[in-house]
């Protein structure tokens, strides 16, 4: 199967057998491409193999630590082919990651994201409510990951309404207007998880807002909400009780600037699901061995999209656990997992030491 046919295929349709054959073969092509075009990747990869640098099974996939994108400009294309450099500062450090894109990789990312989103949204764009302030987009050159997320998702909506004003206060009149027009209708809502909680779930409204046919997509992590003892179920229950949003129409997602396009969308069991062109492996932080399903460890994310930079296999600083494979209640094939939080500093330091030696 060609790469084009593979990514064109219906999302969440490939099971373990196909991942272990089709995916692995395309991954080897990508691995070979980066070996030939990135000296840094070649050096790192060499440490993983005895002799033949072929990835024999998914568990053998070499990985680069996510921090490498902060320290070095990693690229597998000539300078003149650079189209865009994505940057994002992490939460633990002020040094931004820099991700080098050429036109082909940028286009692939957009295509992949729409392939995943269309799977749950359909191909028609829905009226869209954005739980954020437009001011977040004001400085177009330096806007944050939040701004980039909003713009990336805006493509899937129309008649966009930003729910908050410049002072981050709910624009009630605009929401009321929106409610009058779209109550009970299919609409798309997007926002960062804690923003959705704070400004939508907790909003006190003196008019009816009926979101019974809305689809909510949210991202950004649970850290802030965990501190308030709000977990995924509390989050969904509140939105269901207050505005009638069906729990199965609420999708959390996990993604990162280092692998734009390969987002992991929440399945009907509340776990993050690998799309066809991505895979996760959980590794023991002590020796990087592969953890069995159900055991926690560092999350390695593998994607078939990154061609312009060797970011097809990254060891993140997040701790997670694989919850199952190919047997999600909604029929989606592929592995699914949950995130438990950030790795402890000592564990991260352990990783970077390994790579610096």
Partner 1 sequence: MSSENNQKLITAFSTALEIDASQVIDDLKYQSIPEWDSMSHMFLISELEEVFEVEIETDDVIDLSSVGKAKEILTKYDVSF
Q: Per-residue x/- marks for partner 1, 64-103, CB under 8 A?
A: ----------------------------------------
Question: What is the 8-class DSSP label of residue 268?
Answer: T
> Of 66 and 137, which has the nearer Cβ to partner 1?
137
Please identify, using beta-carbon distances, which residue of 62 and 157 lies nearer to partner 1.
157
Exactly one of 43, 54, 72, 158 binds partner 1 (CB under 8 A); that residue is: 158
By CB under 8 A, tell whether 160 contacts partner 1: yes
Q: Does 155 bind partner 1 (CB under 8 A)?
A: yes
Rounded to whole angstroms, the Cα distance separating 281 from 284 reads 10
In angstroms, the CA 154 to CA 129 distance is 10
Nearest-approach distance from CB 140 to partner 1, in angstroms = 6
Torsion sign (Cα): 41, 46, 47, 50? positive
If DSSP codes are grouped into helix, strand and coil, which group holds residue 62?
coil
User: Under 8 Å CB-to-CB from 125, ≥6 apart: which residues?
Assistant: 155, 156, 157, 158, 188
Q: Closest distance between partner 1 and the C-beta of residue 193, in Å?
A: 22
Please give the Cα distance from 3 to 20 (Å, whole number). 15
Q: Are 92 and 342 in contact (CB under 8 A)?
A: yes
Least distance to partner 1, CB of residue 55, Å: 31
Structure tokens at 186: 């299919």
Judged by CB under 8 A, which of 71, 159, 284, 354 binds partner 1?
Answer: 159
Question: Which residues inside 102-141 make contact with partner 1, applying CB under 8 A?
Answer: 110-111, 114, 117-118, 121, 123-125, 137, 140
Rounded to whole angstroms, how far apart are CA atoms 101 and 310? 11
Residue 101 CB, nearest approach to partner 1 (Å): 11
**CA nearest neighbour of 190 among 157, 145, 212:** 157
CB of 214 to partner 1, least distance (A): 17
Size of the site for partner 1 (CB under 8 A): 19
Under rule CB under 8 A, residue 151 binds partner 1 = yes
Nearest approach, Cβ of 350 to partner 1 (angstroms)? 38
φ and ψ of 343, to 5 deg: -70, 155
Query: How far is it, in rounded angstroms, from Cα 220 to Cα 261?
Result: 15
From 25-33, 156-164, 165-173, 253-261, span contacting partner 1 (CB under 8 A): 156-164
Please give the distance of CA 104 from its chain centroid, rounded to a whole number: 20
Can you give the binding site for partner 1, defined by CB under 8 A?
110-111, 114, 117-118, 121, 123-125, 137, 140, 151-152, 154-156, 158-160
């Amino acid at each position: 199967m060609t790469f084009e046919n593979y990514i064109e295929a219906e999302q969440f349709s490939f099971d373990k057998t196909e991942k272990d054959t089709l995916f692995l073969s395309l991954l080897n092509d990508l691995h070979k491409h980066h070996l030939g075009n990135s000296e840094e990747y070649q050096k790192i990869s060499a440490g993983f193999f005895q002799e033949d640098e072929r990835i024999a099974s998914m568990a053998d996939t070499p990985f680069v630590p996510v921090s490498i994108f902060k320290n070095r400009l990693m690229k597998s294309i000539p300078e003149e082919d650079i189209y865009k450099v994505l940057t994002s500062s992490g939460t633990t450090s002020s040094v931004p990651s820099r991700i080098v894109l050429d036109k082909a990789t940028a286009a692939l990312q957009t295509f992949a994201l729409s392939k995943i989103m269309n799977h749950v949204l359909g191909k028609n764009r829905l009226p869209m409510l954005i739980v954020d302030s437009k001011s977040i987009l004001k400085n177009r050159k330096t806007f944050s990951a939040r701004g980039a997320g909003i713009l990336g998702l805006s493509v899937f909506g129309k008649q966009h309404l930003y729910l908050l004003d410049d002072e981050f206060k709910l624009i009630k009149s605009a929401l009321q207007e929106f409610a009058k027009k779209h109550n009970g209708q299919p609409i798309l809502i997007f926002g960062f998880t804690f923003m959705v909680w704070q400004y939508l779930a907790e909003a006190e409204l003196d008019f009816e807002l009926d979101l019974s046919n809305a689809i909510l997509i949210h991202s950004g992590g649970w850290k802030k909400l965990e501190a308030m003892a709000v977990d995924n179920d509390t989050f969904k229950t509140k939105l269901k009780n207050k505005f009638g949003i069906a729990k199965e129409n609420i999708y959390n997602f996990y993604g990162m600037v280092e692998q734009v396009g390969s987002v992991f969308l929440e399945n009907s069991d509340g776990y993050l699901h690998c799309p066809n062109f991505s895979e996760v492996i959980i590794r023991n932080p002590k020796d990087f061995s592969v953890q069995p399903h159900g055991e926690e460890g560092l999350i390695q994310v593998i994607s078939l999209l990154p061609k312009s930079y060797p970011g097809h296999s990254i060891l993140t600083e997040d701790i997670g656990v694989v919850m199952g494979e190919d047997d999600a209640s909604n029929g989606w094939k592929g592995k699914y997992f949950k995130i438990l939080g950030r790795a402890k500093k000592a564990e991260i330091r352990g990783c970077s030491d390994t790579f610096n030696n």
